[in-house]
Structure 1
């Protein structure tokens, strides 16, 4: 059975897609078979992995509506991960799904057909708390919350945590919240540390280690259609490699996730 991880935060600009791309590439480099799923109608994950959403004829939109097989929509990437891409059509799928019974389970049903083919499946949820994000959380075993280390970044975290709780109560009782992943982190500033301390105290939420540093390498990698792991070694790729190793030890051996105890 695949391990399914959702990456969710309704706030944009928190390095959610960067986390999916980088984690997927790091796990693939460890020899694991990885599928990443783009649930954002903007197609940022699809673009970041070197594919033009405007040129695709079949995508996750067709899969969610039962109009196409997931195997027919999958794309290869230079980072050795398989991609279930998104297009702008997905915005329309959200409205159509709302009219269907069992709408929260559409992605879960689709992934059942390929679960045995992958060690890890990572779902990039859109920056909203609509039916697409509910699909991602319902299909997942675990969820992490990327959190930008800036003052206003944690606004809305409480709302997301309430959504996770509701999903656990209604559609996915086995969903586990792994914690917040600090992103765009600058260890030289007390401001970044203060934000993490505030989130940890206010929401009683584990803060995953390592914090992902702020670096221009992420933007450069996204523009070139590959992950940050594809170029020279840098602090961003090193952080995601460490995080992927922590996650795999947790999944494969039951080890406790490494967290930041004091920030």
Structure 2
């Protein structure tokens, strides 16, 4: 199972939207997909149609109580896509795990169990911070996907994230890589958007995905209906962009781990 963390410590850059729609796109192409919601806000769970009352077990149980992965997974309305939901209890997990010896390895240990073999790829939706929850995701992941909003302040956040990744590689997970940077909220009417995109591409080169995610009202509407945009309106520009991004992502994943 390939493990992909979707992280950026800056909020509002499209992490959850990217996680939901990339997971849906890959499930639609025949991959067996697991989505883990590690954000205490639980937006990925809500956006995929799992209400608060349905979340009997969650990523909190997985990390803090070390419940087996199989007990925390629940099906979604998307064929081929399962979810480990998040609840507000997760907000206290960082405090509760501080005194635990293996606090950075809780998620990695959970995914190493037999239940993980049922999936081809696991996406981990991280909170907008570089705390213990995100650190667990980076320690468990094979690679990192970084959504980057096309605004100036996002560039500063990117440099901080890259420094964090380097420290994680040195101390916890030497095999962690970066599969790519996805430009989100792209607005061609705004000159700054093009300038930021050019700066990122000149700095990171081929690491930046060719596909860009535009500002699109249908992407914003979809979560209120509990649906990924690819299900809510598969013809909108946002959905088409995520399908193109999923194709690019698949081409970058390790050959030996790709689904048949």
Structure 2 length as normaliser, TM-score? 0.92
What is the alpha-carbon distance in structure 1 between the residues aligned to residue 5 and residue 55 of structure 2? 24
What is the alpha-carbon distance in structure 2 between the residues aligned to residue 245 and residue 88 of structure 1? 33
Matched, 1:56 2:55: yes
- Secondary structure of 1:180's aligned partner: strand
RMSD (Å), alpha carbons: 1.7
Aligned to 2:237: 235
* Partners of 1:15 and 1:183 within 8 A in 2: yes
Worse overlay, 196-205 or 12-21: 196-205
Equivalent residues in 2 for 1:101-180, closer than 5 Å: 101-113=101-113, 114-180=115-181
- When residues 48 and 184 of structure 1 are mapped into structure 2, their CA distance, relative to the original with a 3 A threshold, is same
What is the alpha-carbon distance in structure 1 between the residues aligned to residue 140 and residue 60 of structure 2? 16
- When residues 54 and 231 of structure 1 are mapped into structure 2, their CA distance, relative to the original with a 3 A threshold, is closer
How far off its partner does 1:164 sit? 0.3
Which ranges in structure 2 are unaligned for 5 or more consecutive residues?
none
Equivalent residues in 2 for 1:1-263, closer than 5 Å: 2-53=1-52, 55-80=54-79, 81-113=81-113, 114-201=115-202, 206-232=207-233, 233-251=235-253, 253=255
What is the alpha-carbon distance in structure 2 between the residues aligned to residue 189 and residue 175 of structure 1? 34
Q: How many residue pairs align between the two structures?
A: 253
How far off its partner does 1:202 sit? 5.0
Which structure shows the higher strand fraction? 2
Structure 1 length as normaliser, TM-score? 0.91
